[in-house]
């Protein structure tokens, strides 16, 4: 297994939380040993953010950090520069193809392992890691195709954070999660861009296979040897048993990625990958030197800035190209700033040679109209940050894919590295300068880049501190990283089925011989108006869902937006900017038996009926006369439609009616149902269905159950649900679109066209599953930060409860009055025997109530849970109640009944702050045992306090984040940049079934040919034998 040694006991962990959260400074070891200036800039960016907070930083670097403050100690590994193959960064030699290819995986991995080993071998680094007095709270290491330096974490017995200098790629993701599917994601050094052709999909798959093969056959063993040689002795010196290298390499707490959606692809991310692209850019732009400021201000037609980065040198261009570039630049009207390392004779008047260029200050200048670049990710980030279009001349590494992505996003052109570069460059310059679309596009992307809930530097600081405070952030660890590949691919099940089929065929053959066998885009930045119009739809006739709807409405109203709210329960004290559309008639359609405890216990109503009921509720909402009046009024317009997803996508049709973006709100934890609408559904080998009660890691049987559940859902959709949805869509939605004079899209286009999902989930409550970038976990957004005071009589009861208060509620849908009489009597008797005061939310008066039991027909749940005297919450396990118990830090006993309650309670028990009691006639007896355990064992309260810390320790509060992303969707007219490429890839392509089919055909043809040749050879031999006999 990849997991390292078990975590400390909860009480020590809690103590660590308190210490870390209360102290202002910690000690960080930051390691950026790559002898490349661009990598050093990223390292300096990490260091600068930590120094700002006053932390003590030890920085292993190949380039000196200028003007170091007292809390920075530098360890010089500039000797690594000697390892850098200079030919590989010489433009002339790269063009002549005499330099080693840095795009070749094997070459890069060998070089990077040598570089990592050289860093560890450095005498100053050896002194550091072998000094028993050296201690760190966190190790932050750059990932460059080698995991050797991850060994620093077990040396200092502290958490590990990777920093990835490239965009999202399979290499770094496979260290913290399952590698992304090559059917729609490219490798770090690939230049393919999704959507892929068949050939490109095969190339990407083959690239992954080769990488795995090379690792298995060579690199893993080499890494192990270097780990044993360079790292293990330092661990042993500290008196600890060294973990295996496999445990070390897969034990990172977090990855800080130099990526952002404005620059890269909308690939799914595990929850311990944080995209902080742009963190290296200092928000305070330094003023230009006077002479350079004068040049730029005097440039009547703007400035073109030309730089090949910090590693490639313009002096290494072939003489012919340099001459032609100078001549071509001299013919332009624009002023050209060329970063060049030497004096250049015969430079035209409009061309200025800069041996050193303050790139951010140049790009930030309003006169800068174009940036000609090599396409490094730092330069690409800066051009989007400052909003300048580019021409890319990629050379090696990730430059080709960076430039291709930029071209694909519409703010760049690519020019190949060749002897014709000057000629091609002139054509590209003319196109970009005379076509405004490139500048418009880069300004749109710059808006997207800057429109984040938190600036990248602040987010980096937050997550580093979060890792330290939670002693490694184990709650963020993806379950996928611990699942072997054969289980993720269900190869064990496939093998079992093959054996079963083989045995069946053998048996069949014995009975019967020779039986035959057969096998769109237009993004505009919205005007800077302060208010927009939102339509919010929560038609479910249950109070809990209405609470979530109110939670969406509240932050939007606070921001001054106009909200139209389709709801079943009235929003209390509505402000003038809220219009309510009543669909309370939906309540009458709710079968009473579905939420009656007695009937559910008697199994009169199967809990599966809930699923069928909620699917039909969407049509009833649209049919409502008030809703019909709204959607058929041609004067009604909205900027965004926000709809609760409950197993039906019909109401997604409101978006094409009003021709505006769609946002789903998922009332449950991360699940395959909602994720499949915006991304590829998660792998059932380590993720559960919405209504499953299994928890990963799964047994073989559970993995098969989860797979079978997905298969059944797909089969039912194909055979029944899809057709029913289409009919309802055409009956209820299409006429309203036609009335507005527009051609209705297909239902398939509508259901998969959401801009965003706002998920009622958070890592403190759920699993650390990967998420697409348009899924935003805002769990707890419904909780009002301003807790209302208790009523005087209730406050008096709680304050006088010497032994604390137990709060018992079965939620807003289930009624305690529906418990069987026997259970009610036994519960009262059992509660009466407790020392604690019990508050029981009960809908009727109850006779013979013990003195310590108080019946509440209405209970202010948040106010009760937030009270310091509340020691335990007995709940049905709804997700709202689960969120609230973590928010306020109260342990629970769960009595789940239906829906997502069983999995919510199982997750809570698995996290260590809850116990589960089954719904039965023995509930009172089982409940007493559970109460005694929780009240007398401090681990449950300690654990919920830890999770409460994790829950609250977010860069942005959930309500503010919800508001931000809704506004972001409106401002970017649908946030198409967040759309996952996986959602547009058919299932057969994601599973490579077309390739499998082609291989099967190839094998079949090959076997036919072999058989044919074999038969011909046999027939010739027979003919020869016959001839011999005749002779």
DSSP notation for 812-826: TTS-GGGS-HHHHHH
Does pLDDT of 3 surpass 50?
no
Mean pLDDT of all residues in the chain?
Answer: 91
Q: What is the pLDDT of residue 785?
A: 87
Which band of pLDDT confidence, cut at 50, 70 and 90, is reported for residue 506?
A: confident
Return d(Cα 147, Cα 880) in angstroms, integer. 41
How much is the average pLDDT of 150-165? 98
How much is the average pLDDT of 745-765? 96
Q: How many helices (H) and strands (E) does the chain have?
A: 41, 26
Q: What is the pLDDT of residue 951?
A: 97
Which band of pLDDT confidence, cut at 50, 70 and 90, is reported for residue 8?
A: very low
Q: What percent of the chain has pLDDT over 70?
A: 93
Which band of pLDDT confidence, cut at 50, 70 and 90, is reported for residue 147?
A: very high
pLDDT tens per residue, range 89-134 = 788 888 888 766 655 678 888 999 999 999 999 999 999 999 999 9
Q: Which of 655, 657, 661, 651 is nearest to 634 (CA)?
A: 657
Q: What is the pLDDT of residue 595?
A: 83
Q: What is the pLDDT of residue 96?
A: 82
Which band of pLDDT confidence, cut at 50, 70 and 90, is reported for residue 229?
A: very high
Q: What is the pLDDT of residue 606?
A: 60
Q: Which of 782, 776, 762, 780 is nearest to 551 (CA)?
A: 782
Q: Using the structure block, give the residue that is written with the tokens 């999909």.
A: 201
Q: What is the pLDDT of residue 519?
A: 29
Under DSSP, the state recorded for 463 is: H
Half-sphere CA count of 352, side-chain side, radius 13 A: 18
Which band of pLDDT confidence, cut at 50, 70 and 90, is reported for residue 418?
A: very high
354 φ, ψ (degrees, to nearest 5): -120, 115
How much is the average pLDDT of 369-386? 97
CB 83 within 8 A of CB 110: no
Return d(Cα 111, Cα 100) in angstroms, integer. 11
578 φ, ψ (degrees, to nearest 5): -120, 130
Q: What is the pLDDT of residue 84?
A: 84
Under DSSP, the state recorded for 771 is: B
Higher-scoring residue by pLDDT: 1021, 467: 467
Cα-Cα-Cα-Cα torsion 130, 134, 139, 143, nearest 10 degrees, comes to -30
Return d(Cα 472, Cα 288) in angstroms, integer. 42
Q: What is the pLDDT of residue 605?
A: 66
Whole-model pTM: value is 0.89
How much is the average pLDDT of 557-569? 96
pLDDT tens per residue, range 431-480 = 999 999 999 999 999 999 999 999 999 999 999 999 999 999 999 999 99
Higher-scoring residue by pLDDT: 507, 118: 118
Return d(Cα 146, Cα 113) in angstroms, integer. 5
Q: Which of 35, 36, 82, 31 is nearest to 310 (CA)?
A: 36
Starting at the edge strand found earlier in the chain, the sheet holding 870-875 runs 853-856, 837-841, 805-809, 870-875, 892-894, 914-916
Does pLDDT of 183 surpass 80?
yes
pLDDT tens per residue, range 575-634 = 999 999 999 999 988 876 778 899 889 887 665 556 677 778 999 999 999 999 999 999
pLDDT tens per residue, range 331-365 = 999 999 999 999 888 899 999 999 999 999 999 99
Instruction: Reduce the secondary structure of 633-682 to three states and give it as a string.
Output: CCCCCCCEEEEEECCCCHHHHHHHHHCCCEEEEECCCCCHHHHCCCCCCC
Q: Which two tokens stand for residue 1029?
A: 């006999």
Q: Using the structure block, give the residue that is written with the tokens 């690239």.
A: 207
- Name the maximum alpha-carbon separation found in the chain: 121
Return d(Cα 933, Cα 927) in angstroms, integer. 10
Which band of pLDDT confidence, cut at 50, 70 and 90, is reported for residue 517?
A: very low
Q: What is the pLDDT of residue 44?
A: 98
Q: What is the pLDDT of residue 526?
A: 38
pLDDT tens per residue, range 678-705 = 999 899 999 988 888 899 999 999 999 9
Lowest mean pLDDT across 24-38, 509-523, 652-666, 708-722: 509-523
Q: What is the pLDDT of residue 855?
A: 96
């Amino acid at each position: 297994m990849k997991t390292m040694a078990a975590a400390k006991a909860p009480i020590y962990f809690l103590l660590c939380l308190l210490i870390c959260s209360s102290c202002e400074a910690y000690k960080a070891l930051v390691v950026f040993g790559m002898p490349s200036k661009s990598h050093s800039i990223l390292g300096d960016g990490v260091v600068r953010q930590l120094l700002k907070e006053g932390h003590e930083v030890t920085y292993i670097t190949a380039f000196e950090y200028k003007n170091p403050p007292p809390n920075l100690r530098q360890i010089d590994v500039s000797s690594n520069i000697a390892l850098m193959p200079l030919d590989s960064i010489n433009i002339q030699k790269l063009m002549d193809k005499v330099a080693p290819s840095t795009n070749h995986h094997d070459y890069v991995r060998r070089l990077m392992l040598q570089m990592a080993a050289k860093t560890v071998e450095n005498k100053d680094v050896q002194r550091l890691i072998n000094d028993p007095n050296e201690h760190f709270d966190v190790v932050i290491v750059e990932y460059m195709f080698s995991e050797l330096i991850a060994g620093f974490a077990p040396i200092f017995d502290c958490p590990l954070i990777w920093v990835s200098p490239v965009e999202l790629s399979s290499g770094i993701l496979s260290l913290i999660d399952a590698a992304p599917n090559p059917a729609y994601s490219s490798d770090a050094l690939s230049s393919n861009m999704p959507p892929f052709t068949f050939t490109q999909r095969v190339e990407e798959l083959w690239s992954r296979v080769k990488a795995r093969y090379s690792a298995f056959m060579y690199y893993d063993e080499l890494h192990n040897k270097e780990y044993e040689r360079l790292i293990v002795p330092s661990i042993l010196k500290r008196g600890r048993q060294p973990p295996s290298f496999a445990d070390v390499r897969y034990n990172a707490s977090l990855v800080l990625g130099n990526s952002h959606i404005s620059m890269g692809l909308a690939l799914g991310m595990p929850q311990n990958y944080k995209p902080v692209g742009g963190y290296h850019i200092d928000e305070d732009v330094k003023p230009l030197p006077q002479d350079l400021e004068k040049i730029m201000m005097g440039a009547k037609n703007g400035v073109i800035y030309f730089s090949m980065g910090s590693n490639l040198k313009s002096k290494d261009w072939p003489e012919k190209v340099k001459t032609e570039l100078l001549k071509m630049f001299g013919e332009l009207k624009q002023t050209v700033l060329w970063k060049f390392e030497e004096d250049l004779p015969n430079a035209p008047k409009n061309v200025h040679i800069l041996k050193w260029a303050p790139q951010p200050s140049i790009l930030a200048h309003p006169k800068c109209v174009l940036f000609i670049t090599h396409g490094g990710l730092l330069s690409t980030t800066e051009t989007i940050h400052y909003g300048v279009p580019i021409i890319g001349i990629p050379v090696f590494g990730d430059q080709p894919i960076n430039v291709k992505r930029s071209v694909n996003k519409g703010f760049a052109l690519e020019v190949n590295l060749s002897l014709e570069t000057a000629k091609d460059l002139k054509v590209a310059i003319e196109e970009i300068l005379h076509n405004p679309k490139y500048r418009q596009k880069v300004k749109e992307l710059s808006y997207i880049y800057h429109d984040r809930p938190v600036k990248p530097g602040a987010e980096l600081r937050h997550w580093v501190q979060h890792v330290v405070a939670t002693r490694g952030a184990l709650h963020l660890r993806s379950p996928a990283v611990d699942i072997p590949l054969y289980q993720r691919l269900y190869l064990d099940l496939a093998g079992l089925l093959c054996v079963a089929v083989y045995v069946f065929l053998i048996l069949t053959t014995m009975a019967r011989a020779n039986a035959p066998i057969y096998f769109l885009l237009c993004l505009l930045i919205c005007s800077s108006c302060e208010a927009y119009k939102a339509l919010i739809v929560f038609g479910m006739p249950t109070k809990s869902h209405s609470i979530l709807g109110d939670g969406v409405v509240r932050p939007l109203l606070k921001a001054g937006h106009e909200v139209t709210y389709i709801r079943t329960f009235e929003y209390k004290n509505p402000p003038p900017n809220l219009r309510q559309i009543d669909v309370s008639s939906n309540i009458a359609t709710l079968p009473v038996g579905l939420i009656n405890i007695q009937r559910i216990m008697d199994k009169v109503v199967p809990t599966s009926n809930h699923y069928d009921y909620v699917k039909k509720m969407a049509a009833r909402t649209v049919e409502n006369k008030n809703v019909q009046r709204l959607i058929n009024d041609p004067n009604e317009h909205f900027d965004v439609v926000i709809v609760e997803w409950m197993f039906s996508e019909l109401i997604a049709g409101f978006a094409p009616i009003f021709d505006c973006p769609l946002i789903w709100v998922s009332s449950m934890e991360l699940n395959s149902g909602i994720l499949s609408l915006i991304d590829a559904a998660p792998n059932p080998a380590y993720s559960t269905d919405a209504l499953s009660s299994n928890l990963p890691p799964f047994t073989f049987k559970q993995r098969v159950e989860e797979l079978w559940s997905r298969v059944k859902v797909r089969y039912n959709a194909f055979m029944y649900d899809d057709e029913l949805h289409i009919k309802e869509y055409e009956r209820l939605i299409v006429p309203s679109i036609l009335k507005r004079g527009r051609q209705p899209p297909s239902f398939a286009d509508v259901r998969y066209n959401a801009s965003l999902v706002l998920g009622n989930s958070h890592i403190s409550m759920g699993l650390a599953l990967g998420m697409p970038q348009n899924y935003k976990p805002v769990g707890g957004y419904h909780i009002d930060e301003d807790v209302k005071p208790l009523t005087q009589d209730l406050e008096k009861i709680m304050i006088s409860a010497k032994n604390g208060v137990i709060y018992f509620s079965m939620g807003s849908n289930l009624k305690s009055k529906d418990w069987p009489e026997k259970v009610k009597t036994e519960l009262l008797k059992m509660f009466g025997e407790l020392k604690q005061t019990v508050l029981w939310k009960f809908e009727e008066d109850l006779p013979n109530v013990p003195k310590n039991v108080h019946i509440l027909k209405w209970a202010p749940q948040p106010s009760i849970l937030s009270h310091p005297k509340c020691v335990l919450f007995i709940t049905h396990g709804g997700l709202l109640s689960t969120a609230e118990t973590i928010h306020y830090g109260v342990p629970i006993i769960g009595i789940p009944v239906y829906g997502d309650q069983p999995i919510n309670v199982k997750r809570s028990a698995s996290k260590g702050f809850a116990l589960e009691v089954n719904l039965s006639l023995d509930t009172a007896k089982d409940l007493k045992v559970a109460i005694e355990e929780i009240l007398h064992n401090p681990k449950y309260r300690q654990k919920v306090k830890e999770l409460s810390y994790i829950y609250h320790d977010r860069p942005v509060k959930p309500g503010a984040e919800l508001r931000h992303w809704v506004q972001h969707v409106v401002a970017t007219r649908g946030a198409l940049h967040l759309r996952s490429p996986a959602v547009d890839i058919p299932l057969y392509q994601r599973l490579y079934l077309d390739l499998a089919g082609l291989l099967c055909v190839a094998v079949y043809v090959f076997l036919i040919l072999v058989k044919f040749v074999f038969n011909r050879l046999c027939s010739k031999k027979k003919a020869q034998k016959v001839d011999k006999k005749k002779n």
